[in-house]
Chains A and B, each alone.
Chain A
Amino acid sequence: MSLELVAIGVSFAGHRVLDDVSLTVPTGHTLAVRGPSGVGKSTLLRVVSGLLVPDHGRVLIDDHDVTSVPTHRRSVGFVFQDSQLFPHLDVAGNVAFGLRMQKLERSLIDASVTEWLTRVGLADRAHQDVRTLSGGETRRVALARALAPRPRILLLDEPFSGLDNEMRIRLAELVHDLLHDTDTTALLVTHDDDDVRRVADSVHRLAAAADGST
Chain B
Amino acid sequence: MDAHRVVNVLVHRRDGAGLLRGVPAIVLVVTATVIPFVGLVAKVLGAGDVFAVWSRPGVSGTAWFSVWMGAVSTVATLAIGLPAAWIVARHRFRGRDLIRVVLGAPFVLPTVVVGAAFLALVPGGRGLVAIVAAHTFFNISVVLRTTTPVFSAIHDDLVDAARTLGAGRIRTLREIVWPLTRSAVTAAAGLVFVLSATSYGIVRILGNATRSTIDVEIYRRAIEFGDPSGAAALALTQAVAMLVVVTWSASRRGVPFTTLASGSRRRVPRAGVLYVWILAVAVVLPIGALVTRSFRGADGWTVSGWRAVFGGDHSRLEGVDLLGALGNSIRFAAIAAIVAVPVAILVARPRRNSRLVTFIASTPVAVSSVIVGLGILITYDVEPFDIRSAWWLIPAVHASVALPYALRSIAPLVASLPTGLGEAAATLGASPWRAWWSVELPLLRPALATATATSLAVSLGEFGATSLLTRRDTRTLPLLVESLLGRSGGVGSTAGSAAATMLLVLTGFVIVVLDRGLRT
Out of B161, B166, B255, which one reaches A80, CB within 8 Å? B161
The A41-61 residues at the B interface (CB cut-off 8 A) are: 46, 49-51
CB of B329, distance to nearest CB on chain A (Å): 49
Out of B155, B161, B167, B256, which one reaches A78, CB within 8 Å? B161
Contact residues in A for B387 (Cβ distance below 8 Å): none
- A78-112: CB near B (< 8 Å → 1, else 0) gives 10111010111000000001100110000000000
Decide if B157 touches A80 in the complex (CB within 8 Å): yes
CB of A143, distance to nearest CB on chain B (Å): 13
Contact of B331 with A by CB under 8 A: no
The A112-143 residues at the B interface (CB cut-off 8 A) are: 131
Decide if B257 touches A72 in the complex (CB within 8 Å): no
The B122-167 residues at the A interface (CB cut-off 8 A) are: 155, 157-158, 160-167
Contact residues in A for B165 (Cβ distance below 8 Å): 72, 77, 97-98, 101, 145-146, 149
Contact of B288 with A by CB under 8 A: no
Contact of B180 with A by CB under 8 A: yes
Decide if B164 touches A82 in the complex (CB within 8 Å): no
Q: Chain A: how many interface residues by the 8 Å CB criterion?
A: 29
Contact residues in A for B162 (Cβ distance below 8 Å): 86, 97
Decide if B160 touches A71 in the complex (CB within 8 Å): yes
- B243-254: CB near A (< 8 Å → 1, else 0) gives 000000000000
CB of B160, distance to nearest CB on chain A (Å): 5
Contact residues in B for A81 (Cβ distance below 8 Å): 157
Decide if B179 touches A88 in the complex (CB within 8 Å): yes
Bound complex: CA A74 to CA B256 (Å): 31
Given known contacts A81-B157, A84-B158, is B257 in contact with A131 (CB within 8 Å)?
yes
The residue in A84, A131, A145 that gathers the most chain B C-beta atoms within 10 A of its C-beta is A84
Number of A-B contacts (CB under 8 A): 72
Bound complex: CA A1 to CA B412 (Å): 56
CB of A186, distance to nearest CB on chain B (Å): 14
Decide if B157 touches A101 in the complex (CB within 8 Å): no
Decide if B161 touches A75 in the complex (CB within 8 Å): no
Dominant SS among interface residues on chain B: helix
Bound complex: CA A49 to CA B160 (Å): 9
Contact residues in A for B166 (Cβ distance below 8 Å): 72-73, 75, 98, 101-102, 149
Decide if A87 touches B164 in the complex (CB within 8 Å): no
Contact residues in A for B67 (Cβ distance below 8 Å): none
Contact of B517 with A by CB under 8 A: no
Contact residues in B for A86 (Cβ distance below 8 Å): 158, 161-162, 176
Contact of A171 with B by CB under 8 A: no
Given known contacts A72-B167, A101-B166, A131-B257, is B160 in contact with A78 (CB within 8 Å)?
yes
Given known contacts A98-B166, A145-B165, A149-B165, is B179 in contact with A51 (CB within 8 Å)?
no
CB of A76, distance to nearest CB on chain B (Å): 6
Known: A70-B168, A84-B158. 16 other contacts (CB 8 A): A49-B163, A50-B163, A51-B163, A72-B165, A74-B164, A76-B164, A77-B165, A78-B161, A80-B157, A80-B160, A82-B155, A82-B259, A86-B161, A86-B176, A87-B256, A155-B164
A to B CB contacts below 8 Å, 29 in the list: A49-B163, A49-B164, A50-B163, A70-B163, A70-B168, A72-B163, A72-B164, A72-B165, A72-B168, A72-B171, A73-B166, A76-B164, A78-B164, A81-B157, A82-B157, A82-B259, A84-B155, A84-B157, A84-B160, A86-B161, A87-B255, A88-B176, A88-B257, A97-B162, A98-B165, A98-B166, A101-B165, A149-B166, A155-B164
